Structure 1
Amino acid sequence: MNIYQKIKDLAASKNISIAELERKLDLSNGSLYKWTKTSPSIDKVKLVANFFEVSTDYLLGLSNDRYSLSDKEKADVGFRVENILNGIETDDKVSFFGEPMDDEDKAAIKAALQTAVAINKEHAKKKRLNQNK
C-alpha cells in the first residue's frame, strides 16, 4: 500500500475527505494525490503523521504498526520522564535498594520509565483510536 492509500484510509477512518484534510493541513488542492508519483518532503510527511497520530515510518511503509508513537508523541514521553526524574534528582532522600541513587541508577530508572511510559501511551492510543471507529 502506498503513502497516498494509507492517508486515504486514515482519512476515511476519521470521516474526512482528502480535500478536507488538505485544507486542514494548509496543503494545496491535489497535493496529497501527487504523492503517488513524487516523493513528499519529510516536513509534509510529519505534518500528516502528527495529524493522524501515526509514525512517519508507518506512512512511509517502514512499519506496519499503525499505533507506534509519532515523533511528537515520543517527545512527549521524554518530557514526562524528565519531569519524573527531576523530582527524583531534587529529593536527597531517594534511595535505590537502600543506597543513594547515583548517575548509573538514575539512567537505569530513566530507561525503564521511558519504556513504561511509551508502552502505556501506545496502549492508550490504540484504545482511543479503536473507539473512534
Structure 2
Amino acid sequence: MRIQEIRKSKGIKQKELAAKLGIAANTLSQYETGNREPDLETIKRIALVLEVTVDELLDAKTKAPTLTKKDERDIEKKLADILADLESGQDGLMFSGESIDPTTRELLADSLRNSMEMGKKLAKQKYTPKKYRKED
C-alpha cells in the first residue's frame, strides 16, 4: 500500500491523518510499514481522506523479483537432470503407453522450466527482507 507515500506527497503528518481517520498513530504507522493490514472499510476511509481512489492507494508499485544469470543456469541444470532422469528410467519417459515424442518432450520441458522459474521468483519475494526489496 502507498499510504505513507501519498500522505507525505500531500504534506499531511502521520498524527494528523490518524486523527482524521479516528485511529491511533501507532496503528497508522503499522499500516504504513506493512506490519498490519487495514480492513476494507479502513482502506476506503484512508483513500477518501487522502483524496485518492482505492486502486491508487493499493498500487504498491513493487517490482517483481527477477532471476539472475546464476538462477537461470541453476534452473537449466536442474531441468536437464530431471529430464535425463525421466528418460533414463526402465522404458524411458512414456505417454499413453508410447515413448514421448520430441514435441511433447519440449512442452514438458517448457512447463517444468516455467514452474521452476515461478518457484524461484516466489521464494525470492517471500524470503527477501523488506529493506532489500527493490521498488520503483
- Place the TM-score, normalised by the shorter chain, in its bin: 0.3 to 0.5
The TM-score normalised by the length of structure 1 is 0.46
